[in-house]
Amino acid sequence: MTANAPEKKTFWQWLATIDRRILYLVMCLVVVIPLIAMLRSTVEVTSPVQDVFNAIESLAVHQKPLLVSVDFDPTSRAEMYPMLTAILRHAFARRVKVVELGIWQTGFGLAQRALNETATEYGMKYGEDYVFLGFKVGVDAVILGMGENIKKTFPVDARKIPLDSSPMMSSIRKLSDFGLIVSISAGTPGYQDWLLYAQARYHVRTAAGTTAVSAADAYPYLGSGQLTGLLAGMKGAAEYEALDAQHGFKQASTLASTAMPALSYAHIAIIILVIIGNIGFFASRRRK
Amino acid sequence: MHISTDPWIWISALLTFCIFSFLVKDNPLYKFAEHVFVGVSMGYTIVVVTWSTAWPDLFEPLFVRNFAEVSIGAKVLLVIPMIMGLFYFAAFIPKINWTMRIPMSFLYGYAMGVYIPSDIQANLLKQIRDTLLTPSWLTNRLPQDMKATVALVAHTRSFNTIVDALLMFIRGPEGSRGGIGPLIILIGAIATITYFIFSREHKGILKPVANTGIIFLMIGFGASFGYTVMARLSLFIGQVQFLLHDWLGVI
């Protein structure tokens, strides 16, 4: 009996092997408390986010339309939806005409919701100020088709209204008529497809909003100038929301901004836990 | 506190708890929520694909519209992709499952033809061009940024100005890709590619260069890991926001 009894852990061993449920509880508290306490933090705007903002500002000046591609689904809603609404709010506040579509079929509902929500706030009219093309199968074929003739690729929009009858689409025939493409992309297909087929072939300025996971992969495109700007994860969305608020756009969203303190504290907690785990690991190894 | 009365919000909240219950241990509630998620996603996908593409682009012009609206030639052209698509279902009939190779080979051929030129242009040539050091960087950007760095160092009064000087030295003014940044990128690219030379033993000059490549790779992995942590936390925070705002109405 004594031989089979579990060996009692030393403090250092316990430190190196803390039960994961305790860690989950710590993380939960670290996230929930700042949200309930409604803590706020200042968000410093980085240049890739400022570049996206400036690009949309230039659309307002040059009266060019914006193409927004909703390339995510509900699984990445927390990161991507605030980006989408922040960009749409900015565009509508500056009276930029918006065409929205999606190359992820499961993002259809979110794309529709974001457009309806923001367009109503600014009194934008469907068909005159914005159009939702919906979803079509075949990413590369869709983008290349739009590069030649949008109305052939999408004869009707998501509401089954022929594009020919839409006043704003009379001046938008192909991709090169857009001043900017913004792909809010949670993976593949996504911003890389817009770079491959729209930016490289039709030379349309392209910006991206990506999940934090894929942000590191997007930076080389930013450096090479292929991407006009970049919103990386929830932090990128919070920066854009801060820009919207700074410029006084009414009802600027705060979905991502309010999450920033919780995100910061959670990062600090993870760093502390990593240090504690390492101390426990090295101390228990030394004692052996 | 304004607890939601919307039944869909309640269903979402309960399914959220079912998924989070996996953190304690695997259990039937988690399995139930997982299966609901997969089923709903698949059902949603089928409906959206059918009504956005299959019906308006294939079935409607082929079977609903008459010859006055869609010419016979156009109808024949639609029959070809339909048959190609049906070949995929041959996977379920062993005797004729070889026919599946026809649409697959067609798709591969099409995809390669479209993808390779664009990929070379966007992912290879533009990235190589961006890695090269330009004469304007060497003659203008670098001396300018070094002067600015020296000026910042000369006026160093606080920790922040030391950081500013360091940033100016490494990358130049924000967003400019100046400083010694382009040189670091060039060294990083060469060293990392060298690490992936497996046809020669890493000896002599190859060894230190490949080891430098490992350092760059580790920095890259570290950055990716940091971003991954942020992404996962963001998803969790988003769901907590849903529970506290949409469901319980406490924030």
CA distances for B154 relative to B27, B151, B179, angstroms: 64, 5, 17
Domain total of chain A = 2
3-state secondary structure chain A: CCCCCCCCCCHHHHHHCCCHHHHHHHHHHHHHHHHHCCCCCCCCCCHHHHHHHHHHHHHHHHCCCEEEEEECCHHHHHHHHHHHHHHHHHHHHCCCCEEEEECCHHHHHHHHHHHHHHHHHCCCCECCCEEEEEECCCHHHHHHHHHHCHHHHCCECCCCCEHHHCHHHHCCCCHHHCCEEEEEECCCCCHHHHHHHHHHHHCCCEEEEECHHHHHHHHHHHHCCCEEEEEEHHHHHHHHHHHHHHCCCCCCCCCCHHHHHHHHHHHHHHHHHHHHHHHHHHHHHHHC
Do A130 and A31 share a structural domain? no
Size of interface A-B (CB pairs under 8 A): 142
Same domain, A92 and A222: yes
pLDDT given for residue A100 in this prediction: 97
Cα nearest neighbour of A22 on chain B:
B24
Are A131 and A162 in the same domain? yes
For an interface test with B, the pick among A70, A152, A196 (most B C-beta atoms closer than 10 Å) comes out as A196
Query: Is A2 inside any structural domain?
Result: no
- Interface contact A263, partner B, CB < 8 A: yes
CATH number of the domain enclosing A75: 3.40.50
Provide the shortest C-alpha distance from residue B41 to chain A (in Å). Answer: 7
Q: What is the mean pLDDT of each run of 10 residues along chain A (288 residues)?
A: 66 88 94 94 93 97 96 94 96 96 93 94 95 93 95 93 94 96 95 94 95 93 93 96 88 85 96 94 83
Report yes or no on A168 lying in a domain.
yes
> Which residue on chain B is closest to A258 by alpha carbon?
B241
- In the DSSP assignment, the letter for residue B248 is S
Find the closest chain B residue to A157 by CA distance. B52
**Which residues of chain B are modeled with pLDDT < 50?**
none
Considering only residues 211 to 230 of chain B, which have any Cβ-Cβ distance to chain A shorter than 8 Å?
220, 223-224, 227-230
pLDDT single digits (tens) B105-139: 999 999 899 999 999 988 999 999 888 888 888 89
pLDDT at A232: 95
Same domain, A21 and A142: no
Reported ipTM: 0.90
Q: Exposed, middle or buried: residue B122 (CB in 10 Å: 0-12, 13-18, 19+)?
A: buried
A44 CB within 8 Å of a chain B CB: no
Across the interface, whether the CB atoms of B223 and A135 are under 8 A apart is answered no
Residue A1 has what pLDDT? 47
Residue A4 lies in a domain: no
A145 lies in the same domain as A27:
no
Q: Is residue A82 part of a domain?
A: yes
Interface of B with A in 146-205 (CB under 8 A): 174-175, 177, 185
Q: Is residue A3 part of a domain?
A: no
Q: Please tell me whether residues A89 and A229 are part of one structural domain.
A: yes
A228 and A274 together in one domain: no
Q: pLDDT at position B220, please?
A: 93
CB spacing of B118 vs A21 below 8 angstroms = no
**A77–chain B Cβ distance below 8 A for any pair:** yes
Asked if residue A6 is part of any domain, the answer here is no
Residues A79 and A220 grouped into a single domain: yes
B250:A36 CB<8 A: yes
Which residues have a Cβ under 8 Å from the Cβ of A171 and sit 6 or more positions away?
A177
Residue A5 in any domain: the answer is: no
The predicted pLDDT at position A4 comes to 63
Question: Is A209 contained in some domain?
Answer: yes
The rounded Cα B234 to chain-centroid distance in angstroms is 17
The C-alpha of B105 sits at a distance from chain A's nearest C-alpha, in angstroms, of 16
Mutate to test the interface with A, among B128, B177, B230 (most CBs of A within 10 A): B230
Q: Distance, in angstroms, between B210 CA and closest chain A CA?
A: 21
Q: A70 and A135: one domain? A: yes
Parent domain of A185: 47-255
A19 plus A55 within the same structural domain: no
Structure tokens at B53: 């593409």
Q: Classify B101 as helix, strand or coil.
A: helix
